[in-house]
Amino acid sequence: MLPILGLLIGIVIALFTPVRFPTVYSDYMAVGILAALDSVCGGIRAGLEDRFDRVVFVSGFIVNMALAASLTLVGDKLGVDLFLGATVAFSIRIFTNVGIIRRHLLHARPRRTSGGSRDVTA
């Protein structure tokens, strides 16, 4: 619940403030968004698997974003669309993590109501 609330708060904040990035940095923002989305998915997955570590989470978020941004910058200078690499990598990770989260949630619900241990096979 809390993450969705956070997302809504973020959207509302942005809607009421006229934030707009210079068009030149559009690629950077796109990659940044993917990095944030990836972190969110990774964090939820880790939380569901009960091995959430805030240091790993926060550092991962920041380092991933910085890496993606610098990759885009280098790509810009070289004339190669390197940010596509970051895009693909993040997209794959998001898909994987969402898949795992989905399985966790699907199996967690009956387990929580019955309380018994079920065979968890994905």
Partner 1 sequence: MRKKAREFELYVAGVCVVLGVLLVAQFRTQEYIGRAQIPSRRLEDLSDMLRRSDAERELLEKEVDALRKQLAAVGEGERAAEAVRLELEKARMGAGLVAVEGPGVTVVLDDSKRQAEPGESPEVFLVHDEDILKIVNELFAAGAEAISINGQRVIATTEVRCAGPVISVNNVRIGPPYEITAIGDPTTLDNALRMRDGILDTLRTWGIEAKVQKVTTVRVPAYKGSLYFQYAKPVLEGAQK
Q: Write out the residues near partner 1 by the rule CB under 8 A.
A: 1-15, 19-21, 23, 26, 29-30, 32-33, 36-37, 39-40, 43-44, 46-47, 50, 52, 54, 57-58, 61
- Shortest distance, position 27 Cβ to partner 1, whole Å: 10
d(CA 23, CA 112): 48
d(CA 106, CA 122): 10
Q: Which CB atom, from 23 or from 113, has the smaller least distance to partner 1?
A: 23
- Altogether, the residues listed in the chain come to a count of 122
Q: Which CB atom, from 51 or from 77, has the smaller least distance to partner 1?
A: 51
- Shortest distance, position 63 Cβ to partner 1, whole Å: 13
Say if residues 83 and 30 touch (Cβ distance below 8 Å): yes
Return the residue matching tokens 């978020």. Answer: 61
- Shortest distance, position 7 Cβ to partner 1, whole Å: 4
Say if residues 104 and 45 touch (Cβ distance below 8 Å): yes
